[in-house]
Amino acid sequence: MLSSAQPAGAADRPDPLAEAAAFRNYFVKKFPDVKLEEFANGPYALNEGMRRQWQEIDQFPPYEFSLEKGKELFATPFANGKTYADCFPASGVGIRQNYPYFDAREGQVVTLELALNRCREVNGESPVSYVGDVMAALTAYMAFTSRGKPFDIKIPNDPRALEAYQNGKRYFYTRRGQLNFSCATCHVQYPGERMRAEVLAPALGILNAMPIYRSEWGGMGTISRRFTTCNSQIRGVPLEPQSEEYRDLEYYLSYLSNGLPISGPGARP
């Protein structure tokens, strides 16, 4: 794994450990009253009114139907008799915090959504939509089995992994769309502020609650759905779900949230 020590002359090389520490420090300083692990709860960590509403809503969580469906789907055998459990370490239980990971054999980032569809294809099933209800249900169940476990994303000592991290970072900070927003515009510069009726979530811990039930959507949304709709909202044409850029972005954001607990599936306004 990478250490924060860098050789002389490597000023332009990313230093994930130091960068993650700086990133965390930025949010801790910006919100001194918020406990670190609370950032996994997004806007509810920053806005007391919203937090109380969420606690009420969570008595009967709106993602519960999806969670049940995901559990059932996960256990239902494919046509060849195998199940999702056969594709994952620990039978897929309690492993969400390790995704995405960098696959050294393939030389690319593998997300949980990608791994689930690959599992289907290997077992003779057609892939499901990355922005649809089935993917949301499956990831909801897997996230639920990891609740409370801290994100543990690794960047192996492989220049390609570091490049994927750097590409994710570049995507995060790059302005795009007619509104000229980057991901960071909302989630670094203005978390806790309102954009219309929404309270913007902090980038730290932003993926810990995924997938989420969004009242605005009237249903569940995967990480792919969140990324693509974010791009549309700023009037940018979204990339293909699970494109290399989005997977690298997920890798970068998840790495920065290392140590924060998985809180998904979540619910948002």
Partner 1 sequence: MIIIVSSKARWRIFWLTLMLWLAGNTVSAVAAGSETEFKSAYAAAEAAEKEAGGLRNQWTVTEAALTNAKKAAEKSDFNSATEWAREAERIAKASIFQATSEREAWKDLEIR
- Shortest distance (Å) from residue 171 CB to partner 1: 9
Q: Does 190 bind partner 1 (CB under 8 A)?
A: no
173 binds partner 1 (CB under 8 A): yes
* 170 forms part of the interface with partner 1 (CB under 8 A): yes
| By CB under 8 A, residue 26 contacts partner 1 | yes
Please state, as a whole number, how many other Cβ atoms lie within 10 Å of the Cβ of residue 163. Answer: 14
Residue 18, SS3 per DSSP: helix
**Measured distance CA(83)–CA(78) in Å, rounded:** 6
Task: Give the nearest distance from C-beta 67 to partner 1 in angstroms.
Answer: 33
Count CB neighbours of 218 within 10 A.
Answer: 8
Which of 106, 178, 197, 218 lies at the binding interface for partner 1 (CB under 8 A)?
178
**Is residue 163 a contact point for partner 1 (CB under 8 A)?**
no
Give every strand in the sheet of 266-268, ordered side by side.
219-221, 212-214, 266-268
Q: Could you give the maximum distance between any two Cα atoms of the chain, in Å?
A: 56
Closer by beta carbon to partner 1, 52 or else 175: 175
Given its phi and psi angles, is residue 64 left (phi above 0), alpha (psi -120 to 50 degrees) or beta? Answer: alpha
Q: Does 235 bind partner 1 (CB under 8 A)?
A: yes
By CB under 8 A, residue 176 contacts partner 1: yes
Instruction: Look up 186 and say whether it is catalytic.
Output: no
**Taking CB under 8 A as the rule, does residue 175 contact partner 1?**
yes
User: Residue for token digits 């690298």?
Assistant: 248
What is the closest distance, in whole angstroms, from the C-beta atom of residue 50 to partner 1 in the complex? 25
Stretch that binds partner 1, among 47-55, 76-84, 88-96, 229-237 (CB under 8 A): 229-237
In 3D space, the residue among 254, 211, 166 whose CA is nearest the CA of residue 65 turns out to be: 211
The stretch among 109-117, 149-157, 172-180, 207-215 that binds partner 1 (CB under 8 A) is 172-180
Q: How far apart are CA 226 and CA 230, in angstroms?
A: 6
Q: Give the pairing type, strands 212-214 and 266-268.
A: parallel
Nearer of residues 110 and 239 to partner 1, judged by Cβ: 239
Q: Which residues bind partner 1 (CB under 8 A)?
A: 19, 22-23, 26, 169-170, 173-178, 180, 182, 184, 188-189, 232, 235-237, 239, 245
